[in-house]
Chains A and B, each alone.
Chain A
Amino acid sequence: MTSLIRRLGFAFVVLSLAAVARPVWAQDTIKVAYVDPFSGPFASGGDEFLKVFGYILQKVNADGGALGKKFEIVPFDDKLQPAEALIALKNITDQNIPFVMQCTGSNVGAALVDGVSKHNARNPDNRILYLNCGALATELTNEQCDFWQFRFTGNVEMRAAARIKALPKDITKVYLLNQDYLFGQSVQHDTRKWLAKLRPDIQIVGDELMPFGKVQDFSSYVAKIKASGAQSVITGNYNRDLNLLIKAAVDDGLNVRFDTYLAHLIGGPTAIGAAGENRLSTITEFDPNVPVELKKPDAEAFSNGWRANHETDFSEIPFLTMFQMLAKAIDKAGSTDALKVALALEDMKATDMVGFPVQMRKEDHQLLMPYYAATFSRDVKYDAEKTGFGWKTDFIATTEDLTLPTSCKMKRPAS
């Protein structure tokens, strides 16, 4: 009951803060605009990320920020609509904010790549950098790559390579089930490609696209999977499309693995619960058990600092890497000028919180970084979302493993 009251209180505080959003110390901070859904069905993601950024900035600002100034985040709601994101972009450039981040939705990401590129061509004295922290479509750093975009998260193909490398050796039959839209099709395509490349011994016994977010009853899919004789379902599904699938599978006694891409997303562990024990695996950028397994007390302490005040887990290590690299680039450039910072970011090498090397590749502005494959297990130090189950790492795909070729032919600015 107290948590209920606390949430109500929190909601009111957030609402009243939003009403007086304009910052007081506008002159003394480096502003970073943050565009993501804060209303509508995907609001839980944006809401959570905003809190995570708040936590990360405490550290980055305590470490000195950049140019002696602190970072400040200015949120804008895009309702997961490209059109809304472009309106927000106009608003952001009107306020002369030099950086815009966006972490949900490749459709919105594609619109921002285009919008930012056009804006910078037309307004050379008020340019802006797009920091992509979660638009995953591989195309965004291949065919559609752009000088003004920097992606600080692994694209679908990197995740697919990690996914297939981490598959248990004894699996010979898999079933692919994905959502019928840009991301799901991208996962389907890259999963097939890497299965053929790395595991020719595996037979694909089913390959299906399902309507995105529309299926209410998954028991017929379960019957189909059962009939196919698959040992593992490889799926890019997330939220209800994943939770309902796994629930139905357990109810119907379907005994297969679920090798997913996004089961760790916020709310997933709570909704799936015991149904996923030892058969659900996912591909993460970080989870609280990684520093335990790798014996990195600093990283463990940082992740615990989040855990102490939240019911969710800290897994957004690339957000931290992004701000650390941005701070370094601004310091190196000596200003927040978009072009200078972009040039400073190119080919920048850094070490992430756990100690793995990462690099912002110059050719396509894709961050080369490691990924972890983990299984939902009771046998962990830190459980996920207080469910009693947590992510136990079975495989680490290193930065070198995931340095994949790019087809990007970038148009670079003249000066």
Chain B
Amino acid sequence: METVLISVLNGLVYGMLLFMLASGLTLIFSMMGVLNFAHASIYMLGAYLAFTVSEFLGFFPALIIAPILCGLIGAAIEIWGLRKVHHNGHIAELLFTFGLVFIIQRLVQMTWGMLPMAYRVPAVLDFPLFALYGVNFPAYRGFMLLVSACMLLGTWLLLKKTRIGLIIQAALTHPSMVSALGHNVPMVFTTVFAGGCLLAGLAGVIGGNYQTTEPGMADSMGPIVFVVVVFGGLGSLAGCFIASIVMGMIQTFAVVVDYSVADLLRPLGVVLSGDTLLTEVLTVPVARIGALLPFVMMVTILFFRPRGLMGTRDA
């Protein structure tokens, strides 16, 4: 019971961090039809910028400044990069963001070096919030939950309750109509791209010291974010939210499960023994392949429901 409760909490924290990243990605995708490969790189940039800013001004100013910088970088990428290659079609845009991944990676290595940064949780948040069956729940994880919940609420209000949100939603599905009504659609695109990058930057700021800030962090976060977006349904914020939480939970729960497929079969009277390949595969405990499960789920959902959980169009 105690492990279940603790895993739920940890899964929630991780899931919300994933959502912060994935929501920006899915917004950008639904608007521009481009899967932004460089999204996790912006997340990494957010962590590094936050580290540098917090060296001078402290963590809380960094929490505001670093995401804004990431947003500006995103806007610049959209205006001077994506927009230029847009008329060559989606493949060109896709390849452009793919190239960006390597450029940002290299720039980060050249600027900050290849070693992990000493980016730490601020002292005011570095205490156990409460203890659950003898296991501490750190205050910083509570803070992460708070920030991501505020961000979720903010994005929802912005998209559903304001005029800007109305235009963005309209531009998602009917760009030419919105343009005909006199709205600056390219401007809307830039705003959305910058907004997505801002969210990725914010995730970087609070994820960078929760995990480690190092040049490999984009590589480790990139694939799982794509899985979340595809699983939740491309372009659907609600689906993205559900998928993030599900993936977060799965990854934390898989670790505590020591059963294997063979254990499931045992009550049915199937007993595996010997040294065959099949036995090897079926007796691997779930904990050992936990990190694979999200990818298995993505493949499964693409097979049975190509548009994802709540997607509106096919992937």
Contacts and interface: CB of A to CB of B under 8 A. Distances in A.
B291 A223 contact: no
Given A44-B115, A44-B215, A252-B136, A216 B256 contact: no
B74 to A, nearest CB: 22
A173 B35 CA distance: 49
A217 interface: yes
Interface stretch (A26-34, A69-77, A263-271, A356-364): A263-271
Contacts of A220: 3, 6-7, 10, 252-253, 255-256
Nearest to A43: B114
20 contacts: A4-B52, A7-B111, A11-B109, A41-B216, A43-B215, A210-B287, A211-B289, A213-B216, A216-B221, A217-B13, A219-B6, A223-B6, A226-B135, A227-B3, A252-B136, A253-B128, A270-B115, A270-B117, A270-B118, A271-B212
B115 A41 contact: no
Closest 6 interchain pairs by CB? A44-B114, A214-B291, A253-B136, A220-B255, A211-B291, A11-B110
B314 interface: no
Contacts of A211: 288-292
A223 B257 CA distance: 12
B280 to A, nearest CB: 13
A180 interface: yes
Contacts of B134: 226, 253
B116 A270 contact: yes
Given A251-B136, A271-B212, 7 more contacts: A217-B11, A220-B10, A224-B3, A227-B3, A253-B131, A253-B135, A271-B116
Contacts of A240: 116, 211-212, 214, 216, 220
Contacts of A252: 135-138
A327 to B, nearest CB: 30
A240 B10 CA distance: 18
A223 B7 contact: yes
B112 to A, nearest CB: 7
A217 B138 contact: no
A47 B114 contact: yes
Interface size class of A (residues with CB under 8 A): 35 or more
B251 A208 contact: no
Contacts of B6: 219-220, 223
A55 interface: no
Nearest to B55: A1
Interface string A40-77: 01011001100000000000000000000000000000
A4 B140 contact: no
A251 B138 contact: yes
Contact of A223 (B220, B256, B287): B256
A395 B2 CA distance: 39
B214 A223 contact: no
A209 B140 CA distance: 28
Interface string B82-112: 0000000000000000000000000001111
B214 A271 contact: yes
Contacts of A253: 128, 131, 134-136
Interface of B: 3, 6-7, 10-11, 13-14, 52, 109-118, 120, 128, 131, 134-138, 140-141, 211-212, 214-216, 219-221, 224, 248, 251-253, 255-256, 287-292
A318 interface: no
A186 B220 CA distance: 24
Contacts of A266: 115
Contacts of B120: 273
A216 B251 contact: yes
Contact of A267 (B211, B214, B290): B214
A180 B288 contact: yes
A202 interface: no
Contacts of A215: 251, 255, 290-291
Contacts of B292: 211
Interface string A1-45: 000100110010000000000000000000000000000010110
B169 to A, nearest CB: 32
B109 A43 contact: yes
A13 to B, nearest CB: 11
B206 to A, nearest CB: 14
Contact of B113 (A7, A244, A251, A254): A7
A312 B114 CA distance: 12
B308 to A, nearest CB: 22
Contact of B141 (A47, A208, A214, A251): A251
A194 interface: no
B251 A217 contact: yes
B10 A216 contact: no
Given A213-B220, A243-B116, A224 B256 contact: yes
Interface in A223-270: 223-224, 226-227, 239-240, 243-244, 247, 251-254, 266-267, 270
A351 interface: no
A335 interface: no
A8 B212 contact: no
B136 to A, nearest CB: 4
A209 B214 CA distance: 24
A11 B114 CA distance: 11
A235 to B, nearest CB: 15
Nearest to B131: A253
Nearest to B110: A11
Nearest to B288: A209
Nearest to B135: A252
A41 B222 CA distance: 14
Contacts of B287: 208, 210
A267 B115 contact: yes
Contacts of A217: 10-11, 13-14, 248, 251-252
Given A208-B288, A251-B140, A244 B212 contact: yes
Contacts of B3: 220, 223-224, 227
A8 B107 CA distance: 9
A7 B216 CA distance: 19
